Chain A
């Protein structure tokens, strides 16, 4: 179909002006989101911001108060969950405890009265992909957490759905299993090329898995972009602070002009803003916050040129591969990431330079990026 309409709505899932309230509590408000075919979209946000609520709306488990949901260009706002072409994986696995793995996988197909041979074929395929064939005869209580989550993914897999919905599928697992399954989910997406919507509050999961990330705060999407843009050009201070570990350094001050060039000034110290890609003219006197990530501050030997400042080492946090230095300068304490082998004594003097091409400036009042 190459007509006008489908060209305009080339999305797999489209959420239009969606609002949802529980009684008087507004959880989602006028939310708009278009997810491309085959895209891996991650919904990222702190606890209670409405991620699960949005996912449940897409699945048809919650009725929106207002707005529409389209899946594959079909208005499914009033459709039953089973008719939406979605599969969902829950944080608590939600496997039927009294059924074997095989029965768990085939439950939806049996409900839909699909012929036995076809069921067997699909269960075999899904369990092959997820490598759970040896577990088919076991009950969920006889599985480990990772195996359970694999079965839960398999349950969505057998139903041949267009869209996969994941609600924090890995947060009940320990760190090692989580990183293993993360890779497997990525591999699964590359093999199946389905649309996937993935809810998490783990930013590593978001950055590693996503084609695009939607960062949510109290029911509103703050920024929807690819991981690199989200990381390097956060739209506002919330996004900047939410993404990145160790967190971005924020210096409060104001814009000024020195020798015809814009500078950032705080506590009497000026930082040249040469190289900063501003979206509007940098007017002197405006109150702003300068955000710099720990790896974008260069120390001593790493300095390639430009403006150099001097700071004092406040504390040192060795983290194996990296070493996190906390430096005191211009009335602020800022963290700097350096190689794990380079060590400094507390109180030592270091030279530092800001990489302004990678920095972010936010208006102090609106907290929007300048």
Chain B
């Protein structure tokens, strides 16, 4: 009904007959100054850092939307006078790398064909490994774990040549399968560590209860552990997807020109020596290549943070 009518009635009923007992002076939440020196420094530093990272991105975006005549004018910071998507189309479908001129699209699909199976295989194996290490203390599990940790710290470069030989012997050298295998294996130590630490943080009694209920290794994994581990799977997926997508070294070593991943192809486009340097096409190609990790972060960043935090809080 009418607010002005109900207010005075309920007011005194709560605060007693003589109205408020509060005195003048500090009360409730302490007010915070918006423009305190601390805030200025914190937000100033954050702002500067953001600008530092965003300016190159800005330059790339505007350049990729300009035509070549406009770029030759040299104002790299000015917005495009006439927006054109020509460079994007060219980067995707026509840019030349070495022999073929079908743009980045070939590399994109190669990268998809490399990343998707590598991520699935490595996560599937690493999660089972981590689960076994965390919950089923088998004989030698400590040694196995130590070896894995050491494996996580060995520099990749050391192993490239031996792996080339191994893959050649297996007849996989130069094929996508070879590269998938390499990515899956190299992701294993750190991924297993990630999963093991997550599973260790889950209450042990849950695992014991499931064993008393008669569930075996796989039943506990699929019916108890998996449904509780979505956050860590998301974290692992993000790490693996971006890591494998951004890989250049393995791509250039273990594949042939027609199976090059996108990063290698990008390099070849940007560094090609024939003809004029098409800055706008290069920028568009770079943005296209970076789009996948970027989208992965934007879509799942929130889940990522939650996954990392979940492990920390429960431990």
Q: Do residues B203 and A98 form an inter-chain contact, with CB atoms below 8 A?
A: no
Q: Do residues A98 and B228 form an inter-chain contact, with CB atoms below 8 A?
A: yes
For residue B209, which residues in chain A have a CB less than 8 angstroms away from its CB?
88, 90, 94-96, 155
**Residue of B203, B211, B213, B214 ringed by the most chain A CB atoms within 10 A:** B213
- Given A90-B205, A111-B219, A96:B210 Cβ within 8 A: yes
With both beta carbons as reference points, the residue of chain A lying nearest to B209 in the complex is identified as: A94
* A-B contacts, CB under 8 A, total: 56
Q: Separation in Å of the B134 CB from the closest CB of chain A?
A: 15
A88 to B215 alpha-carbon distance, docked (Å): 14
Segment 225-242 of B: residues with Cβ below 8 Å from A: 227-228
Stretch touching chain B among A8-16, A27-35, A40-48, A79-87: A79-87
Q: Do residues A82 and B203 form an inter-chain contact, with CB atoms below 8 A?
A: no
Q: Mark A31-64, 1 if CB is under 8 A from B, else 0.
A: 0000000000000000000000000100111000
Q: Do residues A82 and B211 form an inter-chain contact, with CB atoms below 8 A?
A: yes
Q: Do residues B206 and A94 form an inter-chain contact, with CB atoms below 8 A?
A: yes
Q: Do residues B205 and A96 form an inter-chain contact, with CB atoms below 8 A?
A: no
Interface check B208, CB cutoff 8 A: yes
Segment 83-125 of A: residues with Cβ below 8 Å from B: 86-88, 90-92, 94-98, 107-108, 111-112
Interface check B5, CB cutoff 8 A: no
Partner of B212, one of A88, A92, A97: A88
A94 to B202 alpha-carbon distance, docked (Å): 10
**Residue of A61, A80, A155 ringed by the most chain B CB atoms within 10 A:** A61
A45 to B51 alpha-carbon distance, docked (Å): 63
For residue B205, which residues in chain A have a CB less than 8 angstroms away from its CB?
90-92, 94
- Given A92-B203, A94-B206, A111-B219, A81:B227 Cβ within 8 A: no
Q: Do residues B214 and A108 form an inter-chain contact, with CB atoms below 8 A?
A: yes
Q: Separation in Å of the B113 CB from the closest CB of chain A?
A: 34
Q: Mark B245-272, 1 if CB is under 8 A from A, else 0.
A: 0000000000000000000000000000
For residue A107, which residues in chain B have a CB less than 8 angstroms away from its CB?
210, 213, 215, 223
A111 to B224 alpha-carbon distance, docked (Å): 12
For residue B224, which residues in chain A have a CB less than 8 angstroms away from its CB?
96
- Given A96-B224, A97-B228, A98-B227, A90:B214 Cβ within 8 A: no
With both beta carbons as reference points, the residue of chain B lying nearest to A82 in the complex is identified as: B214
Q: B-side binding surface: helix, strand, loop or mixed?
A: helix
A60 to B208 alpha-carbon distance, docked (Å): 10
A98 to B213 alpha-carbon distance, docked (Å): 16
For residue A61, which residues in chain B have a CB less than 8 angstroms away from its CB?
208, 211-212
A88 to B207 alpha-carbon distance, docked (Å): 12
Segment 135-170 of A: residues with Cβ below 8 Å from B: 155, 159
Q: Separation in Å of the A256 CB from the closest CB of chain B?
A: 55
For residue A108, which residues in chain B have a CB less than 8 angstroms away from its CB?
212-215
Q: Do residues A88 and B208 form an inter-chain contact, with CB atoms below 8 A?
A: yes
A155 to B215 alpha-carbon distance, docked (Å): 14
A95 to B210 alpha-carbon distance, docked (Å): 9
With both beta carbons as reference points, the residue of chain A lying nearest to B220 in the complex is identified as: A111
A107 to B205 alpha-carbon distance, docked (Å): 15
A156 to B41 alpha-carbon distance, docked (Å): 60
Q: Separation in Å of the B303 CB from the closest CB of chain A?
A: 17
A87 to B206 alpha-carbon distance, docked (Å): 14
For residue A80, which residues in chain B have a CB less than 8 angstroms away from its CB?
211, 214
A108 to B210 alpha-carbon distance, docked (Å): 8
For residue A81, which residues in chain B have a CB less than 8 angstroms away from its CB?
211-212, 214
A112 to B210 alpha-carbon distance, docked (Å): 12
Q: Do residues A111 and B203 form an inter-chain contact, with CB atoms below 8 A?
A: no
For residue B211, which residues in chain A have a CB less than 8 angstroms away from its CB?
60-61, 80-82
Q: Do residues A86 and B213 form an inter-chain contact, with CB atoms below 8 A?
A: no
For residue B203, which residues in chain A have a CB less than 8 angstroms away from its CB?
92, 94
Q: Separation in Å of the A107 CB from the closest CB of chain B?
A: 5
A92 to B206 alpha-carbon distance, docked (Å): 9
A81 to B207 alpha-carbon distance, docked (Å): 12
Q: Mark A69-87, 1 if CB is under 8 A from B, else 0.
A: 0000000000011100011
Q: Do residues A111 and B215 form an inter-chain contact, with CB atoms below 8 A?
A: yes
Interface residues of B (CB under 8 A from A): 203, 205-206, 208-215, 219, 223-224, 227-228
Between A and B, 16 residue pairs with Cβ closer than 8 Å are A56-B208, A61-B208, A61-B211, A81-B212, A82-B211, A82-B212, A86-B212, A88-B209, A91-B205, A92-B205, A94-B208, A97-B228, A98-B227, A107-B215, A111-B213, A111-B219
The 8 closest A-B pairs by CB, nearest first: A82-B214, A108-B213, A94-B205, A98-B227, A94-B209, A90-B205, A81-B212, A111-B214
10 more CB-based (< 8 A) A-B contacts, given A108-B213, A108-B214, A112-B214: A61-B208, A61-B211, A81-B214, A82-B211, A86-B212, A90-B208, A96-B210, A98-B228, A107-B223, A108-B212
